[in-house]
Amino acid sequence: MPVFTAPFCQALLEELEHFEQSDMPKGRPNTMNNYGVLLHELGLDEPLVTPLRERFLQPLMALLYPDCGGGWLDSHRAFVVKYAPGQDRELGCHYDNAELTINVSLGKVFTGGALYFGGLFQAPSALASPLEVEHVVGQGVLHRGGQLHGARPLGTGERWNLIVWLRASAVRNRLCPMCCRKPDLVDDEGFGDGFTREEPPTVDVCVMT
């Protein structure tokens, strides 16, 4: 699915590399990747990711994934991951702390590193016949957070991807997507892990059949 233009991806990569080379404090993008950037550390949540979620992704997700919170997306965690020789080169099979995920290729020039997808993590033989997807700069891959997936080893070059974990408190307040149990909530700043103490309003969704 087209998300960004190639010039925008190039401009974003330049900003990411400037930040990476600076001495500003940086957090790991997630517990699996060692190299990358949290977009809120660059101040890009409000001007970039929130409008992307609210104006572009939520209307689409409401149609494609109404059964897992597509119409109720009210928070996110956005980060960029980097794969390069001598750093992270691949990513093992896992599922996300998200109701839905979008993964957008930013570049650069590289070989290998294809994404692969299985079934939902609760399903038996979920990785019996994985589907591989090649990266296309500026294009995104949408999938359910609970769908098993990973990244094949990088061959050469550098690969950067923007990943947004899309969260719906109306769904996760009832059932944690990681442990499949009702969550015990602890107060946190910002979006935290996407849980809320108040139920959000429902959204009417028309499902195409």
Q: Does 12 fall in a domain?
A: yes
pLDDT tens-digit map of 10-56:
999 999 999 989 988 888 888 899 999 999 999 999 999 999 999 99
The tokens for 101 are 């995920």
Q: Which domain holds residue 105?
A: 6-172
Q: Does 191 fall in a domain?
A: no
Q: Does 83 fall in a domain?
A: yes
Q: What is the pLDDT of residue 207?
A: 45
Per the structure, the count of domains in the chain is 1
pLDDT tens-digit map of 105-120:
999 999 999 999 998 8
**How far apart are alpha carbons 153 and 147 in whole angstroms?**
20
Q: Does 98 fall in a domain?
A: yes
For residues 2-12, average pLDDT: 98
**Is the bond preceding 26 in cis, omega lying within 30 degrees of 0?**
no
CATH number at residue 65: 2.60.120.10
Residue type at 203 in one-letter notation = V
For residues 89-115, average pLDDT: 97
Q: Does 198 fall in a domain?
A: no
Q: Does 89 fall in a domain?
A: yes
**Strand runs (DSSP E) across 60-124, as ranges?**
75-83, 91-94, 100-107, 110-112, 115-120
Torsion-angle region of 86 (φ positive above 0: left; ψ -120 to 50: alpha; else: beta): left
Please check the confidence at residue 206 and state whether its pLDDT lies above 70: no
Q: Does 150 fall in a domain?
A: yes
Q: Does 204 fall in a domain?
A: no
For residues 142-161, average pLDDT: 97
Q: 3-state class of 13 per DSSP?
A: helix
pLDDT tens-digit map of 52-80:
999 999 999 999 999 989 999 999 999 99
